[in-house]
Amino acid sequence: MPASPSPAHILCVVGARPNFMKIAPIMRAFNAPGSGLSASLVHTGQHYDAAMKHAFFEQLHIPEPDVDLGVGSGSHAVQTAQIMLKFEPVLDQRQPAAVLVVGDVNSTIACALVAVKKGIPVIHVEAGLRSGDRSMPEEINRILTDQISDLLFTTEASAADNLQREGIAPEKVFFVGNVMIDTLRYNLADATPAAATLAAAGAAGEFAKGFGLLTLHRPSNVDDPAVLRRLLQELADISRQTPLVFPVHPRTRDRISAAGLDELLASANILLLPPQGYLEMLGLMREARLVLTDSGGIQEETTALGVPCITLRESTERPITVDEGTNTIVGTDPAAIRRAYTDIVNGGGKAGRQPQHWDGRAAERIAAVLADWCRSARAA
Ligand code: UD1
C-alpha cells in the first residue's frame, strides 16, 4: 500500500482578541487525526494584556503559539510594519503550504501581504464582509486581504456577492458558515453564569434583576470626546431604567479618562468591569435582556443566542444579523438609541432565526475544502 502523503502544513495567524475565538475550532479541526492537515500557530502580539490574550488561550484550549512575534501596540503603520518585518523570517524558516488568516485586524492584512509576496498561498476565513465604510480600518483590511487571498471562506451569503463585485473568481469562494459560532456552540454549556461574574465584581441586587450589556471600542465612537460624551450620556440615562454591565476595552478606558467622563459614568447605574474572559462574556451575553455594542463579533453572537442587540454604528458588515437575526443598527443619535431600547423593553425585540451554516461545523467544512485543495495543488 502506498504511504499516505504527509499532512499539509498550514501556518495559522492570530493577533487580536476577536481572532482567538475564530482560530480555536480551526486548530482543532486541522489537527484532528485524518484531516490531511497539520496546523501551527503564530501570535503577532497585537493584543498582549493578560485580559486580552491569556484568558482566551486558556479557556478556549488554543495551543500555545509556536511563534510569538511580540509586536504590541503602535500606530497602524508601525504595528502593521512590525508584524510584517517579524513574520517574514518565520515563513522562511517554516515554509508552510499555506498561511491562514482570520477576520479583519491589522495582523490579518500584515501577514497575508508578506505571504502572498513570497508566493505562499493565503487563506482568508471570514472573507467578503463589507460595511461600505472605508473610514473603518477593518474595512481596508478586509478589502485588501480578500484581493490577495487564494481561498476565501465566507460566513454569510452576502459575502459572495461583495467578492464577485470586486472581481474575485467565484471558484475561490466557499460558503462554510461561521467559526466564531462554532466556538460559541462548543462552549455554551461551560459559560460562566452572569450571577457569578456580577458577584465577583461585588454587584448583586438590582443587577441580578436584569441588566443590559454594553461594549464600546470603535475609534469612531471613542476617539472623539464629543461623540463619546453623547453616547455615554444616553447610556447613563438608559441605565437608570435598565442597569448596564460594561466590560471596558483598554482603549476605551483611556479615552473615557482623557475626555473627563469618569464622573458621568460614576453617577450612572453602570457597572464597569475589566475586559472579560470568553466564558464570562458568553454568560453575560446569554443572560442579558439586551446588548448595546459597536463590536462586529457581538452582533453575530447575540444573533446566535437570540438576544436583542442594538448596534451603535451607522453600518454593519454583517447584514445577516439584521435581516435574519436580532440586530438593529442605530448609529450614535441618542433619540435613535432610545427608540430601539424602548422597542426592546416594551416589545421584547426581534426574535430572529439561526442563519444558514451557523451550526457549529464551519471549521470542519474549512478543513475538508482545504485538504482537497492542498491535494490538488500537490498533484498539479
Ligand atoms: C483591534 C482591531 C479591532 C478589534 C479589536 C478587538 C485592528 C485595526 N483593530 O482594535 O478590529 O475589534 O482589536 O479588541 O486591528 N491595548 C492594551 N492591551 C492590549 C491591546 C491593546 O492596553 O492587549 C490598548 C493599547 O493602548 C492600544 C489600544 O488598546 O493602543 C488599541 O489596541 P489595538 O490592537 O491597536 O486596536 P484595538 O482598538 O484593540
**CATH code of residue 129:** 3.40.50.2000
Boundaries of domain holding 171? 8-177+358-379
Ligand 1 and 129: CB distance under 6 A: no
Measure CA of the first residue to CA of the last residue in the chain; give whole Å.
Answer: 22
Regions of the chain with pLDDT less than 50: none
Burial class (CB within 10 angstroms; exposed 0-12, middle 13-18, buried 19+) of 80: buried
Q: Are residues 236 and 116 in the same domain?
A: no
In a domain, 235, yes or no: yes
Q: Are residues 366 and 320 in the same domain?
A: no
Element containing residue 374 per DSSP (H, E): helix 362-379
pLDDT for the residue 72: 95
In a domain, 301, yes or no: yes
pLDDT for the residue 74: 96
Write out the catalytic residue numbers: 217
Q: Are residues 250 and 313 in the same domain?
A: yes
Q: Are residues 204 and 332 in the same domain?
A: yes
Please give the number of the atom of ligand 1 that sits closest to the Cα of 74: 30
In a domain, 277, yes or no: yes
Q: Are residues 103 and 202 in the same domain?
A: no
Please give the number of the atom of ligand 1 that sits closest to the Cα of 137: 8
Take atom 15 of ligand 1 and give the residue whose Cα is closest: 105
Q: Are residues 161 and 238 in the same domain?
A: no
Q: Are residues 220 and 308 in the same domain?
A: yes
Please give the number of the atom of ligand 1 that sits closest to the Cα of 104: 11
Sign for the pseudo-dihedral over CA of 66, 275, 344, 207: positive
DSSP letter string over 252-301? HHHHHHHTT-HHHHHTTTEEEEPPPPHHHHHHHHHH-SEEEE--SHHHHH
In a domain, 362, yes or no: yes
Take atom 26 of ligand 1 and give the residue whose Cα is closest: 251
How far away, in angstroms, is 16 Cα from ligand 1 center? 7
Number of domains in the chain: 2
pLDDT for the residue 53: 84
Element containing residue 89 per DSSP (H, E): helix 76-94
Take atom 22 of ligand 1 and give the residue whose Cα is closest: 250
- Give the C-alpha separation, 48 to 64, whole Å: 14
In a domain, 218, yes or no: yes
pTM metric for this prediction: 0.96
Beta carbons within 10 angstroms of residue 161's beta carbon: 12
pLDDT for the residue 3: 60
Ligand 1 and 46: CB distance under 6 A: yes
Ligand 1 and 16: CB distance under 6 A: yes
DSSP state of 188: G
pLDDT for the residue 204: 72
Choose one of 53, 134, 249 to mutate for the ligand 1 pocket test, by most ligand atoms within 8 angstroms of C-beta: 249
Q: Are residues 170 and 252 in the same domain?
A: no
Q: Are residues 201 and 109 in the same domain?
A: no
Q: Are residues 308 and 372 in the same domain?
A: no
Q: How do residues 331-374 score in pLDDT, each as one tens digit?
A: 999 999 999 999 999 988 898 999 999 999 999 999 999 999 99
